[in-house]
Amino acid sequence: MNGTMKLILIGQPGSGKGTQAIRLKEKYRLSHISSGDVLRKEVALGTDLGKAISSYMDRGEIGPVELITEAVLSRLDRISAEGFILDGFPRTVFQAGELKKRQRIDAVLFIDVPEDEVVDRITGRLTCPSCGMIYHLRRKPPVRENVCDGCGTALSRRSDDNEDTVRNRIRVYREDTFPLLDFYREEGLLRRINGANDADTVFAEITALLG
């Protein structure tokens, strides 16, 4: 199924979704669609959508759900002949229902990590704005302080990676995203992955599952 697999990654903020998505994209030659990245780009460009959502993103809230759903789905329509990994979308049962009307999905990977672990991971997170590589201040620092090992770009911290916003994002995840697990369990698509392990072990578990 290389190149045509259509996957969804579900996991709370800091579950390692982004790291796994980059690896899956390379191994199976898939497009990686991160709704958070799509929305951060809209905010940076100052588009109407960006203006409508920036204050919600600062607070870690879901915001105008129809607008966001259409922005992500229309992007998927443009690449739907290829395989993809969705990261951060769908986040609600409404979004999952809209996605089902427009796309076939092969598997939903739920990366399960305890809450204390994710708070520590997120508050130390550093991201490369150019290639998307993710580091951690203490657990996985770059070789040169604050510079991406892969492409040499200065690393940045996401403005919503502070402790208050993180706790709110986890609360929002519990309320809105948790019901998604039931939705995909009923569809027979849900696969649980133990995300408390290191990134290599998590990746091995996922690839064994996908074959």
Full 3-state SS string of 85-144: EEECCCCCHHHHHHHHHHCCCCEEEEEECCHHHHHHHHHCEEECCCCCCEEECCCECCCC
Q: Which of the following is catalytic: 6, 17, 40, 121?
A: 17
Comparison of 4 and 168: residue with beta carbon closer to ligand AMP: 168
For residue 104, indicate whether it is catalytic: no
Q: Is 149 helix (H, G, I), strand (E, B) or coil?
A: coil
Strand order in the sheet with 190-194: 31-34, 84-87, 6-10, 107-112, 190-194
Comparison of 13 and 83: residue with beta carbon closer to ligand AMP: 13
Least distance in angstroms from the C-beta of 68 to ligand AMP: 4
Least distance in angstroms from the C-beta of 50 to ligand AMP: 11
Strand 134-136 with 190-194, pairing? unpaired
For residue 91, indicate whether it is catalytic: yes
Comparison of 4 and 75: residue with beta carbon closer to ligand AMP: 75
Query: What is the residue whose two structure tokens read 């790291």?
Result: 19
Comparison of 175 and 204: residue with beta carbon closer to ligand AMP: 175
For residue 169, indicate whether it is catalytic: yes
Q: Which of the following is catalytic: 23, 140, 158, 192?
A: 158
Least distance in angstroms from the C-beta of 188 to ligand AMP: 23
Least distance in angstroms from the C-beta of 211 to ligand AMP: 27
Residue whose CB is nearest to ligand AMP in the complex, by number: 36
Q: How many residues are listed for the chain in this entry?
A: 211
Residues that bind ligand AMP (CB under 6 A): 13, 35-36, 39, 56-57, 60-63, 68, 88-89, 91, 95, 169
**Rounded Cα distance, 186 and 124, in Å:** 36
**Rounded Cα distance, 132 and 179, in Å:** 29
Which residues are known to be catalytic?
17, 91, 125, 158, 169
